[in-house]
Structure formats: structure tokens, C-alpha cells
Amino acid sequence: MSARYVWNLQEAGETQIAVVGGKGAHLGALSRIEGVRVPDGFCVTTEAFRQVVAGAPAVGAQLDRLSGVDADDREAIRTLSAEIRRTVEGIALPGDLAAAVTGALNRHGERAAYAVRSSATAEDLPTASFAGQQDTYLNVIGPEAVLRHVSRCWASLFTERAVAYRQRNGVDHRTVHMAVVVQHVVFPQASGILFTADPVTGNRRVATVDAGFGLGEALVSGLVNPDVFKVRGDEIIDKSIAAKQCAVQALPDGGTQEVPIDAGQREQPALTDEQVVRLVQLGRRIEGHFGSPQDIEWCLVGDGFRIVQSRPVTTLFPIPDADDRENHVYVSVGHQQMMTDAMMPLGLSMWQLTAMVPMHEAGERLFVDVTRRLASPASRAGLLDAMGKGDPLVRDALETVLDRFGFVPSLPDEGPGGPPPGGAPAPIGTDPAVVRELIRRSEDSIAALERDIREKSGSALFDFLLDAFAEHKRVLSDPLSMQAIMAGMEATWWLNDRLQEWLGEKNVADTLTLSAPGNVTSEMGLALLDVADAVRPHPEVVAYLRSVGEDEGFLDGLAKVAGGAEARDAIDAYLDRFGMRCVGEIDITRPRWRERPTALVPVILDNVRIFEPGAAGRRFEEGRQRALAKERDVLSRLRALPDGDRKAEETKRMIDRVRTFIGYREYPKYGIVGRYFLYKQALMREAERLVRDGVLAEKEDVFSLTFEEFRDVVRANAVDERLVQRRREAFRAYRALTPPRVLTSEGDAVNGAYRQRDDVPAGALTGLPVSAGTAEGRARVILDVAQAELEAGDILVTTFTDPSWSPLFVGITGLVTEVGGLMTHGAVIAREYGLPAVVGVERATRLIRDGQRIRVHGTDGYVELLS
């Protein structure tokens, strides 16, 4: 029976997490690495925990109550978790279990000093470290004390912090079990933590050692500041020696105590330089064994190191795979596309297959390798300029990497990135017919795709899609389309630069482009106001829409309500035009509005409440009149200047040009998303067939497969269910990571910074000005567009906005985002609607409180916190 309850540490390994928990499994694996010394001991297995809990029905009832608690209800979590801990600690240990533990103590030394340490099955895993969420007890002496502390470790599975973490991360409390590691305590002269990758920068080639005197509890508890060493290769590149006032040492009869350090020793390093380098070499060996950066707890005993724990560092952003050992610099695609969330494998692979440049995956996000463009002086300037116009923080991050001597090699000027063969394309005339022709081409291509894809299935569908992706790229690379986009952007830059130079006024183009024709994204927001007009006259329809909840079939029932037929027709017409859109629309796995129309209901109801009938037409006309008035004002002031007639004539040409082309800037994305929805509908028909055939449990399983893997499943009519499950678990873990703007092949996560400014008030948040004007109002911090509840005059604060957020823009007075640039979606639509906007405000959703009064300075690029 004892074999069920106790395993020697050397028996444990990485495949026995379910038996000995994450910590026990890691320690067992560590003990078998050559040159790594781990204090001896044993594990009380998860079977012991299960037996004890099964014998206490009260725990099951308490877990039932806990499962119904909201992750944000801290008080309920605190109360229930304390109740469960008291119950677990109060359970009497069965005799056979106590005998098994006591027998193990006899074999290892009954009166020896032990560390009794929790080891949960969801602890120290490659994708999620639960470090510090359960308990460790040092210098425990005697069987009675060890058994008591085993119970306390079991109870620590339900600390408030551990429970809240599992609630937030969707981990079922009943699926996590607790083993307990019982190890000989070592009495070190120094101890600490070794990170085999820099935990601050992410650099995988720089190790960080934190060191202090005595037991490591002094460092972990924050009692003393550690000595900090940074090591690259075998060289210490930086070190900081702290004044260590005290240490924690073991007491002879058990327990620990805090003791002062002699004045002469306080500022002495806890380790010599030679010991630091040797420790890092040992850490690299451990890292090599586990295959990922490690967070290692170590002790110095004599002149040798004991390793008491090693866990994966799960907070580092992963690095894209490369087929060489050269240095690489990657730029985040998500920051350009206004979608920094993790993407499912099918979404990633579809974007890679349809993108115009090679894209590399890391952390379920996509990156573009810009190393060669940075390496050539000819292309470097153009790249930095383009990135700076889009997002100054990306440019600053790239310049930070360039400042690292030798990281990016220098290529000759004739390297890649020079002028395209045949020279730059000729500029196009200011002719609205150009835009009409481009839209016609796109519509014809999508109509052909819709016609041809309808009957495709099986392997033939995937072959067809590969050809469709080639057409997709051809449409995207249409030279005329690029010329039209650049014409609008270049006219915007010309107007802002020249009119600031000539008239001293910033960002004049923001007003001159109000209500520019042909902006399909701004039309999307205004069209939902028209939908609200069809709903507003019918109280029964309003009441029905308030009750729909998550019923995605609500449109069928809507027609049965008085006035519902008109409302349904209006919503259907809107979905016919815009139903392919959704939040995070570059990820094909995200539910589209046509698939989940309830996402639009809160916005429709807000529009019904906030606006009067005919608001869409009035808003567009008001914007157009403001733009015309600004044009007259600018031209009049220019004519009064020296050489004014010429300046006014040039400016008028550029105003006409910007209003002709700037609206088209949003159209290519609309076309892409339209094609994506057709791809998705065809692929989901195939997924539904696989469900009917019993190959898949549910159609969404295909989201965890790449396009190529999906095709293989269709051909074989079989799927690797374990692969699907692993992908889901990885997605949950990566979803919690924040991607950097720039990432290097060494792991440096670089986000850039704004230059110090003297014109920003103290306490204000700095960002990029993208839409002129000043707005003051209540901040609404909204992370999910479906949860938005806005009042007239509110200022939207969020991480990023893609086109699906446009319907909210009609009801707000200002915009603040954490991600964005001059020509990204939020900026373009904010200018179109005349909303003062500041983007690229780091941590805005955390630094601005929901409901707080703020003032947005869209001309100068900062946000004041007023209350």
C-alpha cells in the first residue's frame, strides 16, 4: 500500500506529473542530470491527497460552491478558500498513509531536518508556472511535524492566490491535485535564484543571478535586496552588490530565524565571480535538458551548488524559429493590423498563406523579419521612416536594436530594399474613376470566388483554396491599388507639413478629410445608425432585442414582433454588407457578425437610446460642411501670404487629391475580410462533415490545426486528438502574453519609448497624436466591444481598435488606445468622424480608470487625468 503513497525522488520524472506534481517531477528529472546535485528526499503522491479529500465530503460541497464564484469576486474567493483550507488541515490522516510517510522518514533519517514543499499537478508546467502559489516549510524535524506540514501543503492548494489564479486561467479546481516533496534541508552559506534568460529584457543569452547569504527565504520574502549578476557566455557583464542587513538561518530544533549580518560582511558579494560563472554553466546544462529557459533555486554548500528547484520561465515571449544561427530582428504584425491577441493555428496559417511577405510565428502571433532591410543603409532609412509614420514606438524599438553594436550587420548600399526594378510607379491623376475601377475589380474577384468555391469539397477544396490564395495576393498587389493608397497618404502628409510651415497650424488634414467619400469603414458605423432608425419606432422590437442574450437565432423570432419585419430586414441588409466583419477579423477562426449577430445588438440599442432619427445623414453632412469651411479658411489665409496664390493653388490640388483617395485606404482590408469569410464558410462545411463522420468532436477543433494539417485530416479522415488538446492548452497559455513591438532572435522584447517632452503636463500620459482637437469626458475602459455600454460624451479607452469597433465611434467624443499609428484603423476613422484621438499610450487601460474624467489632447498627443 505504501508504494501508492510514497515515491523516492529519484523514481520521479517529467512523465510522472500526475503522480508527484510539477515540482516533484522536475526535481526527479534534475537528480538524473550529470553534474547536478539535488538534496535527497521523497514524494507523498497525489493518490494520498485524493484519498484524504475523498474521505471528506465537505470538501466536495465547498468545491461545488467555489466553481460558481466569479473570478473577480475576491471576497467570496477569500472566504471560501479559507474554509476549504481549514477543512483539509482538519482531516485525520489514514493510518496506512501515515505509516508510509513515517517509513520513508525512517529510511532517510527520522530526526533529520526536512523541507516540506507543495507540488501541484498544475505547477511548474512548460506553459504555466504557478510558482509561489502553494506553500513550502523549511527545517521541519520529526515525523509528527512532517505529517502536520504535509496536511498544510495539501491545504495550500486552496490559498486565495492559487484559487484566483486558477479561476482566471480556466483551470478546474477538481482537476488539480497536490503531491508533497519532503527533502533534506541544506544549510547554505549563500542561496538565491538563477534565471537562464534575462527576466526583464527576455534575452536568452544573458543569465541573471540573484544571491544573498543564508537560506533563500530572505530573498523570496523581500527581507533583503540581493546581489545581482548578469552573465553573457562566461563573462559577467554587469553586477550590483547590495548591502545585506540580515539573513535567514535554520534553528537547531526546527524552524528558521532572521539573524543580523556582521557589518564587515554586509557589502561583500554572496558569491565570487568564479562561482557565479560556474553556477550559470550549471544552469545552462539544466536549461539544455528541459529545452527552455529556467528559473532555478540554488544553494551554495561548501564550494558546491545544490539545486532545490527548477521551473520553466513562462513569462518570456517565445522567439520565432530560424534555420540559421544569425541575428534576426522581427516586427510585430499585430501592431500593424491592430490585433495583438493570440491567434489560433488555422488563423495563423491562413494569414501566412495569404500575406504578401513571409511571416514567422511565435507565441501564437505573427512577425516579419526586417533584418536585411535594417542591414542595408539604403533600405534602412526607408524602413525606419515608414515604421515611424505608422507607429513611432516601433521606430524607436528598431533604433534601440540598431544601437546595440554589431547585432545587425551592415550590408552594402546595393543590398535588398532599393528601388524596385523599372523604377517607382508613375503617380496617378486625381480622378474618382480610379477608385470606382478598383472597387469594381475587387467586387468582381469576390463574386467569382463565391461562385467557384460553392461546390468545392474534400481535397479538391484545399487545392482550389491554394489557387484562390494566389488570386488573393494578385488583388492585394494591384499596382493601381497601391498608387491610390499612397496618393491619399502622401497628400495627407503634404497638407500637414506645408500648412504647419505656412500657417503654424498642426494636423489640418484631420479636418479637411472629414466625411471624405468612399470610406467603407466609416460607412459601416453610420449604417448602424440607420439600423437603429428602423428599430426605434417599435417599442416591442426594442424590448425583444434587450432580451435576446446569446440567442444567435434571434432574427427568426424578430419577425414575429410588431414592427419586427422592418427591423429584421434592416439588420439583414447590414449583415449582407458588413456581416463578414468581427473583432480580430484577421484571425479566420473568430466568429463573424453574420455568425454571431448578437454582437451588434448592444450597439444598436445604444444608438436607439443616444441618437435622434436621421443621425447618420446629419453627421456625415456636418463633417462635410466642416471640411469645406476649413478648406475656405485655409485657402483664404494662404492667399494673404507672400506668394500666396501659388500656395493656395497647390493646397487646393492636394485637398482635392486627399478627398479623392483617402477613403479608399480602408477598402482593401474590407475586400480581404470578404474573401476570408468565403474561405471560412467553405472550410467550416468541411469541418461539419468531419463531425458527422465522427472524426471530430466539434467543428471548432479544426481551429487548432494549421491549413496543411486540416487538409491532411480531410484526406485521412482521421485526427490526432492529442495534438488538438495540446494546441488548445498552448493557446490558453500564450493568450496571457503581451507581444512586443519588436523581437530579436536573442529574445529581447523591445517596445520603444517616446522621447522626453517639455510640453506635457506632469502626470499626463504621452502618446501619438492622430486626430486633432481636444475632448473632455468620462473614460470608458472597454476591452470587449460586445460589453460596451456608452453614453453620449464618453471617451473610449481600449487596447486597440480594428474596423469592427467603428460602430462605437459614432457615439463617443474621443479615443485613446494602447496600440496604433497615424494610418491605422482607429486613427483613420477618428479623423473621419472628427474625434480627438491619441494612440500608442502605453498601459492606458490600466492607468486610466473606468469612469475617470480625462482630457484627450488629439493635436499634441497626450491625455490628462482629471479625477
H or E element, residue 743: strand 742-744
Taking the CB of residue 754, how many other CB atoms lie within 10 A of it?
A: 17
Q: Are 681 and 591 in contact (CB under 8 A)?
A: no
Q: How many angstroms separate the CA atoms of 575 and 424, rounded?
A: 40
For the chain, the C-alpha Rg in angstroms (whole number) is 31
Exposure string for 830-841, b = 16+ CB within 10 A, e = fewer: bbbbbbbbbbbb
Q: Are 212 and 247 in contact (CB under 8 A)?
A: yes
Burial of 201 per CB tally in 10 Å (0-12, 13-18, 19+) = middle
HSE-up of residue 212 (Cα within 13 Å, Cβ side): 26
Sign of CA dihedral 14, 15, 19, 22: positive
Q: How many angstroms separate the CA atoms of 638 and 632, rounded?
A: 10
Q: Where are the alpha helices (DSSP H) in 662-805?
A: 667-692, 707-716, 721-735
What DSSP assignment string belongs to 423-465? -SPPPPPS-HHHHHHHHHHHHHHHHHHHHHHTT--HHHHHHHH
- Cross-sheet strand order for the sheet of 768-771: 765-766, 862-865, 853-857, 774-781, 795-798, 814-817, 837-839, 768-771
Spot the catalytic one: 26, 177, 472, 825. Answer: 825
Give backbone dihedrals phi and psi of 367, rounded to 5 degrees, phi first.
-140, 150
Q: Are 15 and 112 in contact (CB under 8 A)?
A: no
| SS3 per-residue string spanning 355-387 | CCCCCEEECCEEEEECHHHHHCHHHHHHHHHHH
Phi/psi zone of residue 851: left (φ > 0), alpha (ψ -120 to 50 degrees), beta? left
Residues in the chain: 867
Q: Closest Cα to residue 809, out of 783, 837, 851?
A: 837
Give backbone dihedrals phi and psi of 578, rounded to 5 degrees, phi first.
-125, 5
Residues in CB range of 328: below 8 A, 6 or more apart: 320, 322, 369, 371, 744, 745
Catalytic residue status for 360: no
* C-alpha grid cell, residue 289: 535538458
Match 524535524 to its residue by C-alpha cell: 141
Q: Are 822 and 841 in contact (CB under 8 A)?
A: no
Q: How far is CA 625 from the centre of its chain?
A: 41
Match 499610450 to its residue by C-alpha cell: 841
> What letter represents residue 752's amino acid?
G
What is residue 201's three-state secondary structure?
Answer: coil
Q: Are 130 and 163 in contact (CB under 8 A)?
A: no
- Catalytic amino acids? 825
